[in-house]
Amino acid sequence: MAPNATSAGCPETTLIETELLDGVAVIALNRPEKRNAINDAMRADLIQVLDWADRSADVRAIIITGRGKGFCAGGDIAAMKERLSAPAGRVGINGWQRQRRTHHLLTMLHDIPKPTIAAVNGAAAGLGCDLALCCDFVIGASDATFVMSYVLRGLIPDGGGMYFLPRRVGMARAKELIFSGRMLSADEALLINMIEQIAEPDDLINDAIAFASTMTVGSADALALAKSIMNQSFESTAEEIFSLGSQAQGICYTTDSHRDAVSAFLDRPKS
């Protein structure tokens, strides 16, 4: 646990470790022996922790990372084999139910009205890559790798990659990465705007916390409203965004943070 960090009030789960440092919740996938591959139990634990981070007034920003040598190896291959061993009449409906739970997790992460940062250590593969891209920002360790490996398993990206990746790198590049399933280094990912920053492995979490701290100095209310609107901007018209912005600004006018900021500005010492 980092200096000045606390686990007080953080949920206690088996496969997710959580600590709170100066308003930043560091949420770590904790299945290192499986390179943090996501199974049903880890997904349930992560949903529980994200629900806490969403509701807690003490959490101003969120970092997602992985314990051990990898960020997240994607979906658990053993669970895939188990899924295929179900009776033929249950394979489809079982898969649909699992997809609904996965989409609930990723929608929750995407919609949390607080800045989210993926601190990618080692490999982010398949669903692990989608999980990182679902965050507002991605910081990769210098030895991080990214791969949309779904086609290599006879699957399509089901964790939001077909939505988030084109918005980061453009449609043609996203198709190339998804169709080929090839692996990218952190340097290439930065070059094509797939990630925002590269950190040395030993500095990854501290750099992510420093990055998060730059987004926790202003109004949490204003940030939440702005994020909720910006998340819709590519699918909305300018008129719709202006309308949503007008409603959100009306709410901002009523907040304590706006009132306090105006008073502080007017009461500042005159030079």
Q: The tokens 């907040």 sit on which residue?
A: 255
Q: The tokens 């453009």 sit on which residue?
A: 170
Q: Are 187 and 229 found together in one domain?
A: no
pLDDT band at 5 (very low <50, low <70, confident <90, very high): low
Q: Among residues 61, 162, 158, 167, which one has the least CA distance to residue 109?
A: 61
- Report the mean per-residue pLDDT for the chain: 92
Q: Are 49 and 167 found together in one domain?
A: yes
Dist. CA 201–CA 198, nearest whole Å: 9
Q: Are 237 and 205 found together in one domain?
A: no
- Structural domain includes residue 271: no
Domain with 260, as residue range(s), is 220-266
Q: Are 149 and 121 found together in one domain?
A: yes
Dist. CA 56–CA 140, nearest whole Å: 27
Q: Are 185 and 262 found together in one domain?
A: no
Q: Are 76 and 189 found together in one domain?
A: yes
What's this model's pTM, rounded to 2 decimal places? 0.91
Task: Write the pLDDT tens digit of every residue in 204-228.
Answer: 999 999 999 999 999 999 999 999 9
Q: Are 158 and 241 found together in one domain?
A: no
pLDDT band at 3 (very low <50, low <70, confident <90, very high): very low
Q: Are 186 and 256 found together in one domain?
A: no
Report the CATH number that the domain containing residue 229 is assigned in CATH. Answer: 1.10.12
Task: Write the pLDDT tens digit of every residue in 80-121.
Answer: 666 667 787 777 787 778 889 999 999 999 999 999 999 999
- Structural domain includes residue 79: yes
Q: Are 202 and 149 found together in one domain?
A: yes
Looking at residue 1, its pLDDT comes to: 46
- Structural domain includes residue 241: yes
